[in-house]
Homo-oligomer: A and B are copies of this chain.
Amino acid sequence: MAFMSAVRSRRERPAKPALSREWIVAETIKIMRAEGLEKVTMRRVAQALDTGPASLYVYVANTTELHTAVLDELMGSLRTDATDKAAMEGWRAELHAVLHAYSDVLFTYPGLARSALVLRPTGSNALRLYDRILALLLDGGVTAARAAWGVDLLLQRVTANAAEHSKPAIDEAPADVECDTDGLAAGLRGVDPSIAPHVAEHAEELLSGTPEQRTSWAIDALINGIASTPHPLEGAHK
C-alpha cells in the first residue's frame, strides 16, 4: 500500500492548502533552512507549493518583499527577554546573550545575514530587538545619545559578522581554495614582509583566538567604546 502513495501525484497532502501570505513565508523558511537563501527563488517556492510562480505575486510584490517578510518572521522566533542566568549577571551579560541569540538565528539560515544587512529590517519583531538593546545600554548607564547611535553599531557588527562567516549553503568549490581559516591563515603567515610588514610581524595575533573569543571581545569593545566616546550633539557641559 505504502508505495502507492508515490503515484497519487500532487495530492499527497489532503486538499492542498489554500495559498496565503503566511503559507508562502512558512514554506520559504523551510526551504531556506534546508538549502540556504540563494535556493529560495520564486520558482522554487512555487514548486514546493505545487503551483506556478505567477501565483505568488498575488500575495507578495516581489522577491525582496518576500525576503523581508521572512527575515521579520524569523526575528519573531528570537527571545529578547533575558535568560535568568544573564539577568543575574547584569545588563552587560544580558546584552551579550541577546546579541548571541540574534547571531544564532543568522547563522542557522545560510544567506539570511547577507539579506539582513541590506534589507534594514523594520518589522515589529526587528523593532523589539532594537528596543531591547537600547534598553540594556540605558540600563548600563550609557547616555541616551550614545546608546541611540550605539545600537546600530552592535547590530551591524553581529549581522556583518554572520554575513561574512556563515556558510554559503551546501555546494561550494571543495578543494581549489582551502575553504576557511586554513587558506587565510596560510596566506597571512606567508605574507611578504616588504609589502605588509606589520601584518607579517603580527600574523599570530591576527589569527589568534576562537571565533567565540573574538566575538565576545568585539562586543565588549563596542560597548566600551559606545559608553565612553563623547557624542557630538551632547551638551558639552556635563
The interface of chain A, by Cβ under 8 A from chain B, is 114, 117-118, 120, 122, 124, 127-128, 130-131, 134-135, 138, 144-153, 156-157, 159-161, 163-164, 168, 184, 187, 191-192, 195-199, 202, 205-206, 208-209, 213-214, 216-218, 220-226, 228-229, 231-233
Give complex CA distance A146, B191 in Å. Answer: 20
Contact status B122-A114, CB under 8 Å:
no
Task: Decide if A120 touches B156 in the complex (CB within 8 Å).
Answer: no
The smallest beta-carbon distance between A206 and chain B, in angstroms, is: 5
Instruction: Count the copies.
Output: 2
Closest to A196 in B: B131
Q: Given the complex of chains A and B, what is the CA–CA distance between A209 and B146 in angstroms?
A: 12
Complex: A191 Cα to B223 Cα, angstroms: 25
In angstroms, Cα B152 to Cα A151, docked, is 19
Report the minimum CB–CB distance from A184 to chain B (whole Å).
7
Residues of B within 8 A of A199 (CB): 127, 130-131, 134
Complex Cα distance, B231 from A209, in Å, reads 10
Q: Which residues of B contact A150 (CB under 8 A)?
A: 221
Q: Closest Cβ of chain B: how far from A30's Cβ, in Å?
A: 24
The smallest C-beta distance from A47 to any residue of chain B, in angstroms, reads 25
Q: Can you name 16 A-B pairs with beta carbons within 8 Å?
A: A117-B117, A117-B160, A117-B164, A122-B184, A122-B187, A127-B191, A127-B199, A138-B198, A147-B202, A148-B202, A149-B218, A153-B157, A157-B160, A160-B163, A222-B222, A224-B225
- Expressed in whole angstroms, the Cα–Cα distance for A151 and B118 within the complex equals 23
Within the complex, the shortest CB–CB distance from A213 to chain B, in Å, comes to 5
Q: Given A122-B184, A144-B205, A148-B205, check contact A163 B220 (CB 8 Å).
A: no
CA distance A134 to B152 in the complex (A): 24
